[in-house]
A and B are shown apart, each in its own frame.
Chain A
């Protein structure tokens, strides 16, 4: 299953609302995860099952969607949110990732 994220990169100001989309090449129900990776670090799971926030993850992060279309939103961008965000489907093997969305702070 091919996962396509949009945009590939974005630049936003602190406090801005940021939305990333992820499309699956076939329906994956809600078997969709979102990760955040800072430079030189391992990815961190933020959201699983399309909309379930992991413990300890700030509530400014949210996810929605099902089937083939998903969105990830940061309601108020913070400086520590810079990095690359990946969606990943774990509905069908082989699990696959989107190409990533690089988020920069203006």
Chain B
């Protein structure tokens, strides 16, 4: 059974860059047909897909994030990462890493505040 675990800061200052990492266990990030995604959920609100990547392909991003987002894969560590620049209060959310919509991390709350 594949398991995912997010790690990163719980508090980010406005204008800073958020970097989250998702550790994948129970499966190889480069040995499967899974795609790896980041989804977030502002407190009390719905779900927003941020972007996805296959280990061997190009990432796909939500246009709403314009050029702020980068998703990458590190096969040596069996991890994938999210980078989101120019953080504002509207980016406050629980961030989930997801494998093929089927396996989800527990989520990590990121608060943007000075």
Binding site for B on A (CB under 8 A): 33, 35, 41-45, 48, 54, 86, 88, 90, 93-100
**B51-62 contact mask (Cβ, 8 Å, vs A): 1 or 0:** 010000000111
Q: Residue B16 at the A interface, CB < 8 A?
A: no
CB <8 Å contact, A94 and B46? no
Count of chain B residues with a beta carbon within 8 Å of a chain A beta carbon? 17
Interface SS of chain A: loop
CB <8 Å contact, B101 and A96? no
Q: Name the residue of chain A whose CB is nearest to the CB of B49.
A: A95
CB <8 Å contact, B104 and A94? no
- A94-B63, A97-B46 known; A42 and B101 CB under 8 Å? no
- A93-B60, A94-B62, A94-B64 known; A42 and B105 CB under 8 Å? yes
User: Which of B52, B63, B101 has the most C-beta atoms of chain A within 10 angstroms of its own C-beta?
Assistant: B101
CB <8 Å contact, B49 and A45? no
Q: Residue B78 at the A interface, CB < 8 A?
A: no
Contact of B104 among A44, A48, A98 (CB under 8 A): A44
B-side contacts of A96, CB under 8 Å: 49
A-side contacts of B15, CB under 8 Å: none
Complexed CA–CA distance, A44 and B106 (Å): 11
B-side contacts of A41, CB under 8 Å: 106
- A42-B96, A42-B106 known; A97 and B101 CB under 8 Å? no
User: Within residues 24 to 70 of chain B, which ones have a CB less than 8 A from any CB in chain A?
Assistant: 46-49, 52, 60-64
